[in-house]
Structure 1
Amino acid sequence: MRALLVVNPKATTTTERTRDVLVRALRSQFELEISLTRRRGHATELAAGSAADGVDVVVTLGGDGTVNEVVNGLMASGTGAASRPALAVVPGGSTNVFARALGLPRDATEGTGAILEAMRADRSRVIGLGMADDRYFTFCAGFGLDAAVIRRVERARLRGRVSTPALYLREAVRQYVVASTRHEPSLTLEAPGEEPEPELATAIIQNGAPWTFLGERRVESSPDASFDKGLDVLALRSLRAPGAAWAGLRMLSRRGPRPGQHVVRRHDLSEFSLSAVQPEPFHVDGDYLGERQKVRFLSVPESLRVIC
């Protein structure tokens, strides 16, 4: 069998030692090719090329952004999960939400062992993906507050800061203070067969659970979201009301906010759109994509085979 290892050398916890251990382990089972990413979008090109070249498995060593790029490259080929290379994920970023949502260890060395064991046992699962306009995502997308937080974190990293849970938490508090005092609800959720939900302040879209991790703690906005179902949405009507703070506390408690006066939740949607009065920050899988005024979301079931 042939495998491509895609390494993001700039990922937070990726080291040469981790890479060397992974390379030796993979070479014991595969005809292995190794590629290091050099720029944003490079992993997408590498994955698309490997699919066209008949590679059996693409292994990523990096964070969720690297995984997202590889997934988009794989999805550019074939017409179903069986016609595309399988995906194996070794955690190398700061959060590694997708890998951990699949039940893989957080540590890269342990994750490598788990992936190799799954390969030897021929163990995998086929998962669905989300799609935001023309971009696939594995576990989440965000329109509004959480995307603005990611934008702040990316700017901090450009200034030399290391991506840590503490950095995300600090920037989240700062962004919330700014948004809750200046931001008026401007989003509208529209789904086929439903009345539109206008005047929403921010929205989180999930293809799986949890939404993210704060260190070892799972943060749940839509606990029922699943790789085997459609998309889930959590939206807040206001960032100023006490209900917003209560929703945040429930996310940390792993129960997820309850729908009500301040909270809108939708489960297992096949398609919907979010539009804004003015452009709002937007991200997929923790990768900031700029500001958008409208995004159309689709659930794409049984898209990809994942080794786990």
Structure 2
Amino acid sequence: MRALLVVNPVATTTSARMRDVLTHALASEVKLDVALTAFRGHARDLARRAAEQGTADVVIALGGDGTVNEVVNGLLHHGPDTGELPRLAVVPGGSTNVFARALGLPNDAVEATGALLDALHAGSERSVGLGLASGTPGTPDEGVPRRWFTFCAGLGFDAGVIGRVESQRERGKRSTHALYVRQVMRHFLGDPTRRRGVISLLRAGHDPVEGLALSIVCNASPWTYLGNRAIHATPAASFDTGLDLLGLTRLSSSAVSRYATQLLLSSPERGPHGRHVVSLHDETDFTLQSQVPLPFQLDGDHLGLRTSVSFTGVRHALRVIV
């Protein structure tokens, strides 16, 4: 079997020595090519080339959720899996690794490599559904390139937090859970749109839902992790269904305290609930539209400001070694 290992050399939780050990372990079982990413978007280019040229049977992403997202977008550049695309495999190397953990993989890179080798030996794989975000026709974002996401997207508050975290990381700060918590508080105090929701939820055949102050789109559950604690924003979300959505129509101090507590205590059976909660499950198509440009994120990657994003849930989009 031919494999391409796409390595993010600055991934949060992997060292050069660990990468060498993992590479040797994989090379003992497959015909392995290794490529180190050098810039943002490089992993996407490497995966796209492997898919177009047919040079790999499996593309392995060694890095965090951002690296995985780039590899997925490279593999699916020409559309969903038709059976001819390389399989995807993941070795977690980031700070959170939501996609890998949602697949049931160990969060430790060495253990995950062992699990991957076992799966390759057994020929074990599964089909996963993915989300697709694109600019909405007839809006200023119409020409924005579409982009796949593996586990979550967000327009508004959560994306603003991610933007703040990325800004801090560019200044040399480490990506830690404490950093995220600090930026949540700072963004809450400084976000002028949280007091009045400016996001509308649009679905064909339904009345618009106005006044969302927060909107999170999930393709899987958990939505994220706080250390080893899984946070379930939309507990019913699954790789086997369409997209789920959690919206909040109020982000006052009392509402944030209540819903933050519900998130911390969430489980696979119960997530945030209450009169300010808007939720969708197993949706194929919908649009989030804002009165003003808002931060937008996919799989924890801040993508700038958007006024309108259309979402599509695509079942059986890609096959994953697991």
Where on the TM-score scale, by shorter chain, does this alignment land: which range? Answer: over 0.9
> In the TM superposition, what are the counterparts of 1:48-127 in structure 2 within 5 Å?
48-54=48-54, 55-77=56-78, 80-127=81-128
Deviation at 1:195, TM superposition (A): 1.1
The answer as to 2:205 corresponding to 1:193 is: yes
CA distance in 2, matches of 1:158, 1:84: 35
**AA partner of residue 174 (structure 1):** R
CA distance in 2, matches of 1:144, 1:79: 28
The answer as to 2:304 corresponding to 1:290 is: yes
The answer as to 2:230 corresponding to 1:218 is: yes
CA distance in 2, matches of 1:77, 1:19: 30
Equivalence for 1:262: 276
For residue 142 of structure 1, give the secondary structure of its aligned residue in structure 2: strand
The answer as to 2:171 corresponding to 1:159 is: yes
Q: Compare 15-24 and 63-72 and name the one that shifted more.
A: 15-24
> How high is the sequence identity, in percent, across the aligned residues?
53
**AA partner of residue 203 (structure 1):** S
Pick closer, same or farther for the CA change 1:17–1:280 going to 2, 3 Å: same
CA distance in 1, matches of 2:199, 2:80: 34
TM-score, with structure 2 as normaliser: 0.92
TM-score, with structure 1 as normaliser: 0.97
Pick closer, same or farther for the CA change 1:190–1:182 going to 2, 3 Å: closer
Is contact 1:141-1:205 (8 Å) kept?
yes
CA distance in 2, matches of 1:58, 1:191: 36
CA distance in 1, matches of 2:249, 2:211: 6
CA distance in 2, matches of 1:13, 1:81: 34
The answer as to 2:257 corresponding to 1:242 is: no
Q: Deviations over 1:212-245 (max 9, x none)?
A: 0000001111000000000000001011163332
Q: Deviations over 1:89-136 (max 9, x none)?
A: 001100000001101111111111111111111111100000110000
CA distance in 1, matches of 2:192, 2:254: 11
Deviation at 1:180, TM superposition (A): 7.0
Q: Which runs of 5+ in 2 are unaligned?
A: 135-145
Q: How many residues align?
A: 307
Pick closer, same or farther for the CA change 1:5–1:181 going to 2, 3 Å: closer
Pick from 295, 301, 313: which aligns with 1:281? 295
CA distance in 2, matches of 1:93, 1:292: 26
Equivalence for 1:9: 9
Q: Which runs of 4+ in 1 moved over 3 A?
A: 180-183
CA distance in 2, matches of 1:162, 1:263: 33
